[in-house]
Structure 1
Amino acid sequence: MPIFASEPPASFESFDGTRIYYQRVGSGSPVIMIHGSGGGLHSWQPVAEYLADRFELWLPARRGYAPSGPGHAPKHYADEVRDLGMIIEMIGRPAHLVGMSYGATVALHAAAAGLPVRSLALWEPPLYAAGAELAPVLVRFDELITNGDRGRAVRLLAEQVSRVPSSLLEAVGETEPDEHEPDDSYGWSRDLESMIADTAYLDRWASLTTPTLLMRGSDTWEPMPETVERLATGMPHATLETFPGQMHFAPSTIPETVARTLAGFLY
């Protein structure tokens, strides 16, 4: 039986009254696994299944993503840093941060803010997706969601935020979100607010001394590869691991391989 099948989520009240839910499994060095946009408690579970025998894993649902509370709007990365700070206070000692996509950007902000972080393991942080140029995307996204057109809203995010190439989108074709999956549109709106208030300036991370593992898929589309490689070059304590034949979704498609890499890095 998967370890999470018998582990109901717990929760705490964060600094502004937002209730944050999380799952905690395993024992050992504490590791907080931060999901990306459109994720939740389930996002890191495939990888975590291979790590729970060696680490104490904390998997929160970020504010805006069920079952956690919505939080306030507009949201900023600093809000999620404070949520992480409260988790680290509960742990009672410095923790490793493992972040996926947007969650990797949250982890970077947490380390830069001075939280007691032992290491960073980051899967393809989309640091290029930032700034005021995303403001019209948020407006259009919210319009589409209000009109009940989730399919076009998801396509908009893929094109304008994730920057998935048109050739790949055409190969996938038009798809409608699974009606049985949770509606993550509110969380996406709040994440876009954080991105809009942020900057794509990569040199700001050069002062981080936290040991960092950067991970990317060899087949992920630009500008992700260039962004991650520039980040690796600019961070003095970073190493880069490339996964052959993989794209942005490798933590879901090859979880055992990703877990093995993480286990070799975390200490």
Structure 2
Amino acid sequence: MKTALTIAGSDSGGGAGIQADLKTFSAHHVFGMSVITAVTAQNTVEVRSIQTMSKEIIRDQISAVFDDIEVHAVKIGMLGSAENIEMVAKTLHTYKPQHIILDPVMISKSGDHLLEIDAVEALKKHLIPMATIVTPNLPEAETLSGITIQSKQDLYEACQIIEQLGAKAILLKGGHSAGDPNDLYYDGANYTWLRGERILTKNTHGTGCTLSSAIAANMANGLGIEDAIYHAKEYITKAICESFAIGKGHGPVNHFYRFQEVHQL
């Protein structure tokens, strides 16, 4: 049984964060484990409050998992503060997992800030250099690169800047673009476009969490990074197509659409 560990915040609405990550792992036949970095009171409309965990309990959760269970991939999402970023980096450096998928969560779907402003530099300094792949959306890529992205050339430049921070690869997600959600993959030498088609739905809560977790699960299952990304893109696209109109805002994607298709047969 392959395993994956998510280090992220909890979403009480169930559509993003730890909840989305564990559903995604299960959908890929990977045993999921979790380190909760923050508890959020949120739903499909808003984030009402956030309680960040202490760096000590985050450290102890990571150590408890690694000291007992073999971890085949790690996905990192919401961390909240600079001190928690530093603690996660320090603890993972001790255990040296083979695959680290970093989703630099900064702002929620509802527009609420999930990462303290002064924590961005800590993310760039301590975690990005450890990442197998970083998966920013356009606003996150602008923050990490320090440039405004307005053209295709800007996308290429942003990828280069983030790669120079130490990341082995970057998947710059195009969901926030005006046109089709085409993603750009950069491995430090070559650019590859992953074409997408805009799906007319507002139910996209947790898409970034789900995509990065799918990449982690695919790599835990032995896929190379490019194949892992390709299949994760395919998975999130179908999950959005089969999403749920739950709640009054951005509903969740359907993590288990594959099993429902089998059941219907």
TM-score, normalised to structure 2's length? 0.45
TM-score w.r.t. the length of structure 1 is: 0.45
